[in-house]
A and B are shown apart, each in its own frame.
Chain A
Amino acid sequence: MATLNEKKTCSERMADFRRFVWNPETKLFMGRTLINWVWISLYYLAFYVVMSGLFALSIYCLMRTINPYEPDYQDQLKSPGVTLRPDVYGDRGLKIYYNVSDNKTWEGLVTTLHNFLAAYTPAAQHLNINCTNNTYFIQDTFDGPNKTKLSCKFTADMLQNCSGITDPTFGYPEGKPCFILKMNRIIKFFPGNGTAPRVNCSYVGEEESRPLDVDYYPVNGTFNLHYFPYYGKKAQPSYSNPLVAVKFLNITRNVEFKIVCKIIGAGITYNVHDPYEGKVEFKLKIED
């Protein structure tokens, strides 16, 4: 079998290309006459306008079917994630290292906490109501202003020693640092099945059996049930997550510890793939 060889030199190729771009004999620009280019461009313009229109129409239809208050599905949100403040991320997850004698190492951490708690000042919380019931705060109707639902107040002072009010340094210089835990919001999620979920922190790894000396704020480290369920941003625009603060009282200096804080309660599950579902793990090392 042979040969349909069309070997061309480089200059021939260039000439061919130039000819393709503009062929003076046939008056073809890139293989088409100019008027042809206009037509084809117009066709594609129209085509894409129609396609964009169809896309817009589809999205519009989609939005029409969407409930503004809550999503149709919460397939991935079976159990809430848990986050920690201060949150300093190392290569593999949270890693909080500081030196008690070096201000610079912990000032950033303290600032993070202050900033975080800024949303929990009475002023920031003034739209919310005081709740006292220790049961789920179920609202079937829109009782709030502008067709919203009411949210319970959570103020920083509920965190007592870790509120940053009595101790603006959150115990960091003393080596008894406060950490604040937050449970992610999930619409219509009822944690604990009637009992308030609580936080429990412990060492992990080699130190597992070692008791961890820790104070929880509010007492017992519970998330009060009246903060649940969450009804969504549109229904509860001023909702703020309840918090639990943990204060580690007796951390051996200059040793890196791995600590996990789990939220314990019915409906809160843990996932091997997800290090932040229902719990939060972090490394802590306090130097002096």
Chain B
Amino acid sequence: MVKKRSDVYSVEIYGTKDLHKTEIEDEEEKHKDQKGNKKKKKAEDLKKELDLDDHRLSTSELEMKYGTSIDKGLSSARAAEILARDGPNALTPPKATPEIVKFLKQMIGGFSILLWIGAGFSWISFGIQLAQGVDSAFDNLYLGVVLALVVILTGIFAYYQEAKSTNIMASFSKMIPQQALVLRDAEKKELPADQLVVGDIVEIKGGDRIPADIRLIFTQGCKVDNSSLTGESEPQSRSCDFSHENPLETRNIAFYSTTCVEGTATGIVINTGDRTIIGRIASLASGVGNEKTPIAIEIEHFVYLVAGVAISIGVLFFIISVSMRYKILDSIIFLIGIIVANVPEGLLATVTVSLSLTAKRMAKKNCLVKNLEAVETLGSTSIICSDKTGTLTQNRMTVAHLWFDNQIYSADTSEDQTTQPFDQSSPSWTALSKIVTLCNRAEFRPGQENLPIMKRVVVGDASETALLKFSEVILGDVMSIRAQNRKVAEIPFNSTNKFQLSIHETDDPHDKRFLLVMKGAPERILERCSTIMINGKEEPLDSEKAEAFQTAYMELGGMGERVLGFCHLYLPEKEFPESFQFDTDSMNFPTSSLCFVGLLSMIDPPRSTVPDAVSKCRSAGIKVIMVTGDHPITAKAIAKSVGIISATSETVEDIAKRLNIPVERVNRREATAAVVNGMELKDMSSEQLDAILREHAEIVFARTSPQQKLIIVEGCQRQGAVVAVTGDGVNDSPALKKADIGIAMGIAGSDAAKNAADMVLLDDNFASIVTGVEEGRLIFDNLKKTIAYTLTKNIAELCPFLIYIIASIPMPIGTITILFIDLGTDIIPSVALAYEKAESDIMNRRPRNKRRDRLVNQQLAVYSYLQIGIMQSVGAFVTYFTVYAEQGFLPSTLLGVRVNWESNAINDFEDSYGQQWTHYQRMYLQWTGYTAFFVSITIQQVADLIIRKTRRNSIFRQGLFRNKVIWVGIFSQIGIALILTYGLGHVTALNFTPLRFQYWFVAVPFAILIWVYDEIRKLLIRRHPGSWWDKNMYY
């Protein structure tokens, strides 16, 4: 038995095995054993725990085992006891990183470590200076404290942002608390599903989600949709019979998180929460670790780059200053300054804010992003593996074609149809419409009269629903038509007959005949017919007409549609008088020699926005792969109708058919499209799969299980692609985890899928993914701009230190002042760049190559650091020299004065005019210099902000005023600078002083120069694409 069982679970367990394999590939060798063992143990656990025997027990045995009573249920006291023992009936969310760890990670991640080093050095030098009794020792203490504060505050900020986005997700999953109807203390009660315990008697009805694993003890036409568990999309019937040794296969167990499609059932809860089958699978899936996102890698790369620059310049100048006979302590203080100047303290916070702004924007467009960094990942996506049902399609059967009077008619399948345009004048249509209306058990739930027909909730299966809505759209009130044609007998559809039949009184009071209507599988229906209706007249069904039927049937079937045949018969009044008692068991009425009326074919039609979205993906260089459990023909038909397989491309089979040669002889390379069956996929080696993924541009995987999705994802990742995968079932979670970005369906998705995913699609619509991709690409571009903007001024902050060390001039800018730029004036403008519109159609270029197209590339760094940064430095230095010169110190006198300038003991320091300055007067002038330097960096950062709006286009083309937030940024920048200089100018600790107004304008010519230079750069890039200039100057 065990052997047999493992067979059945093979899909499950292989799924997890595949996970190990890939994980192990990623891991270092040494972890292999340990990890493998752990996983193996888990898998064994799963096997062991699956030794359920409840399905074999009789009702009374069950009652005994769980100490319950079928009539009375558990007592509340007993239930509370069990609840206390087993815990609530809910899946434990995947083990989250402890908050404190998350917090500490923020504290030491990124640049924080550099700043901690800076703070450490500050405190060390404070200690040394304090011991030496130096006056200014406390400055270093404060600096250290400020640096530590900066780290802690930015850490708290990042942590808060992270927590906020997690909360959005948490609130989302709590939106719908599930209720269950439970029998307790011999009373039926509505309880929250998480209060269920083992032994509870629960009742379920069509439309409910199964609240726990339950052993059914009473059923009535109960069908469950196990797709979230097994991937089979066909509902399966459930009864009380023990039909299979395997608990997964047997009919008398219904599983947690699957849905009851129709019927009612009562059952005993046998497993709750994590002990349910789903719970165990979900816990396995959560073993796949979260790893770095592309943007995280980019940011890490950028942090390394900046830290590398900071440390190498720091160390270089430490050596220089030591060899220039500066004191070691002074050299350390220089080192701190260099580190602070080099590190863009505010940038990581800015990036977080930009990402969360985009996440918000995406949420508005129905993409809910769980992990902020996933925002950008979506933008670098190069392959989307999409589900078909519900994502590409509307997830409801809709009548697509009709065939009557020897002619095929097309029906409108759009989401918001209100009328049907096809020709409805033929009397055949009248007859057909009557059958469609009457031979149908589906009903609208009451109280929805005001809703559009397409949005109403229907009780009944998918095709009956489709037919009901179809007739409601055309004929109006179906319910009243049915009431006028009272039903006297009915045989519901079953799989042996493959037809459904009902007998009605007619609505014509003079016509006392009964009308027998029947629908079912077309070939079966045709067998029972002897005549066919053409233009309202019954004609004998000869071979020619049968041929016509066959052709139509084949054609509709070939479009992947589900075809139904319809026939009727007016029962002769003599044989079946009004009082006739119809007996459906003995079938005391004719079921052959009927009149064939027509065919209707149904399909789950594509969403109307999807074809457009797919073609957008195509122009954006994103490959869309359809992965579905459906039949290949249906899958291909939908793929063709949405453009995943384009009109002109052919599969190997198509070519074989066209050339009339066997499939084996077709040159596979000629076929751009491929439809791969899940069965074939099972037997494929990974090389073969790679070959398929490489050789075919348009791929559809049909009849695949959710587990195979994982294999497909891995295949795509082997091609170096960034893969986005959609999924809804629990079994999709490994694939969702494995994918670079897992997208769960918000409506159809299970909680496990949502937990595993990085993003939740609120409307389940493929088109939303594409808007997400667009936003993701935009934010990547905009982050580039933000970083370029932020990096530029680092040079203007760094140069003062270097020149101070080398030329011994009075310090041009203080460390605290630098922090005010990095964390004050620059923050809002750099966030404002996140609002910048795209320069050109971002959906017209290929996805970013994650190895080549870096966020911070060499050109960006070099252009920002060595060109614009240098210009800014020159501008700021001119301001600095102007301030000093106009106060009495001409540039020539400033060179080499550092030691005397900073000496406390010299209080009659002579300037260029012979005036004498005390130490404090000099320091005050120095702070004025800081302020002037600060102001001119700010002014030039305004120009920098403007030029960063575009990377290629002229600013004038992009529009100076289109992005209003940029102006908020500019005004905030200047506002903060004004407040600092004039408002806080008297707080000596901050080292700001009020500044003469004209000094605000000294750097303006340089700001203009920056703008002009950048416009020239962009002009040359546009004029000479691919040139030396383009390669070196485009970032």
Taking Cβ atoms with an 8 Å cutoff, the residues of A that contact B are 1-5, 7, 31, 36, 39-40, 43-44, 47-48, 51, 54-55, 58-59, 62-63, 66, 69-77, 80-83, 87, 89, 91-92, 182, 184-187, 230, 232-234, 236, 239, 271, 273-277
The 10 closest A-B pairs by CB, nearest first: A233-B914, A81-B918, A274-B920, A184-B916, A71-B888, A3-B291, A89-B905, A276-B918, A72-B886, A91-B133
Interface string of B290-321 (1 = CB under 8 A from A): 11111001000000000000000000000000
Q: In the complex, which residue of chain A has the Cβ closest to the Cβ of B377?
A: A1
On whether the beta carbons of B292 and A232 are closer than 8 Å, the reply is no
> A2, A91, A185, A273: which contacts B915 (Cβ < 8 A)?
A185
CB-nearest residue of chain A to B293: A1
In the complex formed, the residue of A with least CB distance to B926 is A76
Query: What residues of chain B lie closer than 8 Å to A186, measured between beta carbons?
Result: 915-916
Given contacts A4-B297, A62-B881, is CB(A232)–CB(B908) below 8 Å? no
Q: A91-B133, A275-B920 are in contact. Are A47 and B867 (CB under 8 A)?
A: yes
Minimum CB–CB distance from A30 to chain B (whole Å) comes to 10
With A and B bound together, what is the CA distance between A31 and B373 in angstroms?
30
State the CA gap A182–B910 with chains docked (Å): 13
Interface centre among A4, A69, A70, A186 (most CB of B within 10 A): A4
25 contacts between A and B (CB under 8 A): A1-B371, A1-B741, A4-B291, A4-B292, A4-B740, A4-B850, A44-B866, A54-B874, A62-B878, A62-B881, A71-B913, A72-B886, A76-B917, A81-B907, A82-B907, A91-B135, A92-B135, A182-B908, A184-B907, A184-B915, A186-B915, A232-B915, A233-B912, A274-B920, A276-B918
Task: Give bound CA distance, A81 to B133, whole Å.
Answer: 25
Of A1, A69, A184, the contact of B758 (CB 8 Å cutoff) = A1
Determine whether the beta carbon of B912 is less than 8 Å from that of A87: no
Chain A residues near B739 (CB, 8 Å)? 1-2
- A274–B918 CB distance below 8 A: yes
Contact A81 B886 (CB under 8 A): no
Q: Which residues of B contact A43 (CB under 8 A)?
A: 1032
- CB of B921 within 8 A of CB of A274, answer yes
> Which chain B residues border A48 with CB–CB below 8 Å?
870
Beyond A187-B915, A277-B920, 8 additional contacts (C-beta under 8 Å) are A1-B737, A54-B874, A71-B913, A72-B886, A73-B886, A75-B928, A76-B887, A275-B920
Q: Is the CB of A277 within 8 A of B918?
A: yes
CB pair A5–B921 under 8 Å, yes or no, is no
B871 touches A51 (CB 8 A): yes
A87 to B908, CA, bound (A): 12
**Cβ contact within 8 Å between A59 and B908:** no
Q: Are B878 and A83 in contact (CB under 8 A)?
A: no
Q: How many A-B residue pairs have CB under 8 A?
A: 164
**Of B291, B881, B904, B918, which is within 8 A of A89 by CB?**
B904
Instruction: Please give the distance in Å from B419's CB to the nearest CB on chain A.
Output: 46
Closest A residue, CB atoms, query B888: A71
Whether a CB of chain A sits under 8 angstroms from the CB of B1028 is yes
Q: What 1/0 mask marks residues of chain B from 870 to 881 whose CB sits below 8 Å from any chain A CB?
A: 110010011001
**B891: Cβ under 8 A from any A Cβ:** yes
Q: How far is the CA of A234 from the CA of B885 in the complex (A)?
A: 16
Residues of A within 8 A of B891 (CB): 59, 62-63
B 307-342 binary contact with A (CB < 8 Å = 1; else 0): 000000000000000000000000000000000000
In the assembled complex, which residues on chain A have CB atoms less than 8 Å from the CB atom of B722?
4
Given contacts A1-B290, A4-B292, contact A39 B917 (CB under 8 A): no
Q: How many Å lie between the Cα of A92 and that of B882 in the bound state?
A: 33
- Does B260 lie at the interface of the complex (its beta carbon under 8 Å from any beta carbon of A)? no
- Write out the residue numbers on chain B whose beta carbons fall within 8 Å of the beta carbon of A62: 878, 881-882, 885, 891
**Pairwise interchain contact A59-B881, C-beta atoms closer than 8 A:** yes
Residues of chain B with a CB closer than 8 A to A31's CB:
858
Contacting pair B904 A81 (CB below 8 A) = no
Which residues from chain A contact B915 at a C-beta distance below 8 Å? Answer: 71, 74, 77, 184-187, 230, 232
CB-based nearest B residue for A271: B920
- Contact status of A184 and B135, CB under 8 A, knowing A1-B293, A2-B737: no
**Is B99 engaged at the interface, CB distance under 8 Å to the other chain?**
no
Instruction: Tell me the smallest distance from the CB of B761 to a CB of chain A, in Å.
Output: 15
Q: Is B988 an interface residue (CB 8 A)?
A: yes
> From A5, which residue of chain B is reached at the shortest CB distance?
B26
Cβ of B1032 to closest chain A Cβ, rounded Å: 6
B991 to chain A, nearest CB (A): 13
Q: Is the CB of A51 within 8 A of B874?
A: yes
B285 to chain A, nearest CB (A): 13
Q: Is B238 an interface residue (CB 8 A)?
A: no
Q: Min CB distance, A223 to chain B, in Å?
A: 14
In the bound complex, do residue A81 and residue B867 qualify as a contact, i.e. CB atoms below 8 Å apart?
no
Given the complex, which residues of A lie within 8 Å of B28, measured CB to CB? 7
- The complex places the Cα of A2 from the Cα of B27 at a distance, in Å, of 13
| CB neighbours of B377 from chain A (8 A) | 1
Contact residues, B909-933 vs A (CB, 8 A): 911-922, 924-925, 928
- CB contacts (< 8 Å) of B294 on chain A: these are 4
Chain B residues near A230: list those with CB within 8 A: 914-915
Instruction: Determine whether B854 belongs to the interface, using a CB cutoff of 8 Å to chain A.
Output: no
**Pairwise interchain contact B740-A2, C-beta atoms closer than 8 A:** yes
CA–CA, A77 to B914, complex, Å?
Answer: 12
User: Which chain A residues border B877 with CB–CB below 8 Å?
Assistant: 55
Q: Does residue B47 face the partner (Cβ distance < 8 Å to A)?
A: no
- Cα A82 to Cα B921 in complex, Å, equals 12
Give the distance in Å from the alpha carbon of A43 to the alpha carbon of B134 in the complex.
47
Say how far B893's CB is from chain A's closest CB, in angstroms.
11
Task: Determine how close the nearest CB of chain A comes to the CB of B698; give it in whole angstroms.
Answer: 25
**Complex CA–CA separation, A3 to B885 (angstroms):** 58
Instruction: Answer whether A81 and B742 are a contact pair too, CB < 8 Å, given A1-B293, A75-B887, A233-B912.
Output: no
Query: Which partner residue on chain A sits nearest B927 by CB separation?
Result: A76
Docked complex Cα distance between A149 and B85 (Å): 103
**Given that A233-B912, A275-B920 are contacting pairs, would A66 and B292 also be in contact in the complex, using a CB cutoff of 8 Å?**
no
Q: What chain B residues lie within 8 Å of A54 (beta carbons)?
A: 874, 1009
Distance of A186 Cα from B886 Cα, bound (Å) = 14
Does B205 interact with chain A (Cβ within 8 Å)? Answer: no
The interface residues of chain A lying within 8 Å CB-to-CB of B1032 are 40, 43
B948 contacts partner chain A, Cβ-Cβ < 8 Å: no
- CB-defined interface of B138-166 with A at 8 Å, one 1/0 digit per residue? 00000000000000000000000000000
CB pair B913–A187 under 8 Å, yes or no, is yes
Contacts of B133 in A (CB 8 A): 91
Residue from the list A55, A72, A75, A83 in contact with B907, Cβ < 8 A: A83
A277 / chain B contacts, CB cutoff of 8 Å: 918, 920-921
Docked Cα-Cα span, A120 to B871, in Å, equals 49
B996 adjacent to A73 (CB under 8 Å): yes
**In the bound complex, what is the Cα–Cα distance between A5 and B850 (angstroms)?**
11
Is B281's beta carbon under 8 Å from chain A? no
Query: Which of A2, A31, A74, A185 has most B Cβ within 10 Å?
Result: A2
Contact A232 B907 (CB under 8 A): no
| A residues less than 8 Å from B374 (CB atoms) | 1
Most buried by A among B717, B737, B888: B888
B914 interface neighbour in A44, A66, A232, Cβ under 8 Å: A232
B363 within 8 A of A: no
Shortest Cβ distance from residue A109 to the other chain B in the assembled complex, whole angstroms: 15
The reply to whether the CB of B1018 lies closer than 8 angstroms to some CB of chain A is: no
Q: Which residues of B contact A39 (CB under 8 A)?
A: 1028
In this complex, which of A36, A69, A182, A233 has the most chain B Cβ atoms within 10 angstroms of its Cβ? A233
B516 at the interface (CB under 8 A from A): no
**Which residues from chain A contact B911 at a C-beta distance below 8 Å?**
71
Instruction: Say if the beta carbon of B481 comes within 8 Å of chain A.
Output: no
Residues of B with C-beta under 8 A to A72? 886-887
B288 close to A (CB within 8 Å): yes
* A80 to B988 CA separation, bound complex (whole angstroms): 21
> Can you name the residue of chain A whose Cβ is closest to the Cβ of B26?
A5
A58 to B907, CA, bound (A): 31
A83 CA / B911 CA spacing, docked (Å): 16
* Nearest A-chain residue to B25, judged by Cβ: A5
Please give the distance in Å from A9's CB to the nearest CB on chain B.
10
Instruction: Please measure, in the bound complex, the distance between the C-alpha atom of A5 and the C-alpha atom of B292, giving whole angstroms.
Output: 8
Shortest distance between the CB of B799 and any CB in chain A (Å): 12
